[in-house]
């Protein structure tokens, strides 16, 4: 298990236990984290699980992920990732995931 902290745009933080092997998106959905819609269920088809990570332990986005990030509603930054593409491992213990401002 790893602990992941989700940070809302207003600064609210929620730290949860994350099961190894699950995606960060699956963890967010299981814990009712606001801001992760995951409309495609993790098939990398919608970019509604877009986040920002400050940590290079998550690796880099694949070419397909980068293409999908171009469809994200919020600002895409160098630290943008899709949570469906980040697999939880013990090495990610302490990961902080920032959620983008939702478009109204």
- Mean pLDDT value across the chain: 95
Q: Is pTM beyond 0.75 here?
A: yes
Dist CA 20 CA 32 (whole Å): 18
Mean pLDDT of all residues in 89-99: 97
Domain assignment present for residue 103? The answer is no
What's phi and psi for 3, nearest 5 deg?
Answer: -100, 135
Residue 87 forms part of a structural domain: yes
How far apart CA 51 and CA 82 sit, in angstroms, is 6
Q: Give the domain CATH number at 63.
A: 3.10.20.30
**pLDDT reported for residue 55:** 86
The total number of structural domains that make up the chain: 1
65-86: per-residue pLDDT in tens? 999 999 999 999 999 999 999 9
Domain assignment present for 94: yes
> Does 104 score more than 50 pLDDT?
no
The verdict on residue 104 lying in a domain is no
Residue at token pair 């302490």 = 94
User: What is the pLDDT, as a whole number, of residue 102?
Assistant: 75
Range of the domain at 40: 2-98
In a domain, 19, yes or no: yes
Q: Do residues 86 and 2 make contact, with C-beta atoms less than 8 angstroms apart?
A: no
Q: Quick check: is 48 in a domain?
A: yes
Residue with the two structure tokens 């967010």: 28
Phi, psi of 98 (to 5 degrees): -100, 130
Q: List pLDDT tens digits, range 8-59.
A: 999 999 999 999 999 999 999 999 999 999 999 999 999 999 999 988 899 9
């Amino acid at each position: 298990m790893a602990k992941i902290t989700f940070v809302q745009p207003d600064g609210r933080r929620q730290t949860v236990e994350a099961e190894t092997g699950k995606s960060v998106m699956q963890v967010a959905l299981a814990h009712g984290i606001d801001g992760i819609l995951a409309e495609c269920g993790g098939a990398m088809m919608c970019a509604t699980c877009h986040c920002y990570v400050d940590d290079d332990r998550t690796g880099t986005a694949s070419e397909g992920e980068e293409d999908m990030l171009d469809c994200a509603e919020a600002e895409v930054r160098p630290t943008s990732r899709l949570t469906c593409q980040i697999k939880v491992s013990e090495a990610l213990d302490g990961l902080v995931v920032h959620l983008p401002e939702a478009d109204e």
